[in-house]
Amino acid sequence: MEQNVFRPSPYHARPLAARGVLPAPGGWRLKLYDIAYDSLPLDEARFAAGVEGALAGLPQPALTAQRPGVGALIRHAGRGMDYLVLVYWDNENECLVRVWVRDEGGWRAASAESFCVWDLQVIWHEREACVRHLLADAPDPDGYLADTL
């Protein structure tokens, strides 16, 4: 039997929920999403310190000529680790992504980890919402925030 054969776990959809708009420091407004390996709702206390750290790193000010002050935060209770995926719009049309993970030492910036196929479902929706609402002739950040997966 070959040991180095790629054999991933088969893909299965995970529970996903939009949780409204999360106000963040400096006037940022982020759509909040939850994804879970098993079931929702998440244990919010498990994510609280990570969310606080993630939000503290957002650039200031939130609103500039190149930055609409909006984005999304994904809280993902994964199979073996918890993840936070922060996506926000900057430089007019760029989706900046920051990832944090929780391991035995607590929350930390991702090093060898990244977002996964379940997070990409949300990120793709956010891309489409950005095109529809932010890169329009009349940018509509409120419309973007209302457009959830």
How many Cα atoms occupy the beta-carbon half-sphere of 70 within 13 Å? 23
pLDDT for 66: 97
Task: Establish if 10 belongs to a structural domain.
Answer: no
pLDDT digits 0-9 by tens, 94-141: 999 999 999 889 999 999 999 999 999 999 999 999 999 999 999 999
Overall domain count for the chain: 1
Domain that includes residue 31, residue range: 16-146
Confidence of residue 2 (pLDDT cuts 50, 70, 90): low
Task: Establish if 2 belongs to a structural domain.
Answer: no
Average of pLDDT values for 2-18?
91
Task: Establish if 9 belongs to a structural domain.
Answer: no
Task: Establish if 136 belongs to a structural domain.
Answer: yes
Task: Establish if 4 belongs to a structural domain.
Answer: no
pLDDT digits 0-9 by tens, 69-106: 999 999 999 998 999 999 999 999 999 999 999 988 99
Say yes or no to pLDDT of 1 above 60. no
Confidence of residue 59 (pLDDT cuts 50, 70, 90): very high
Task: Establish if 3 belongs to a structural domain.
Answer: no
Task: Establish if 44 belongs to a structural domain.
Answer: yes
Task: Establish if 8 belongs to a structural domain.
Answer: no
Burial degree of 82 (CB within 10 A; 0-12, 13-18, 19+): buried
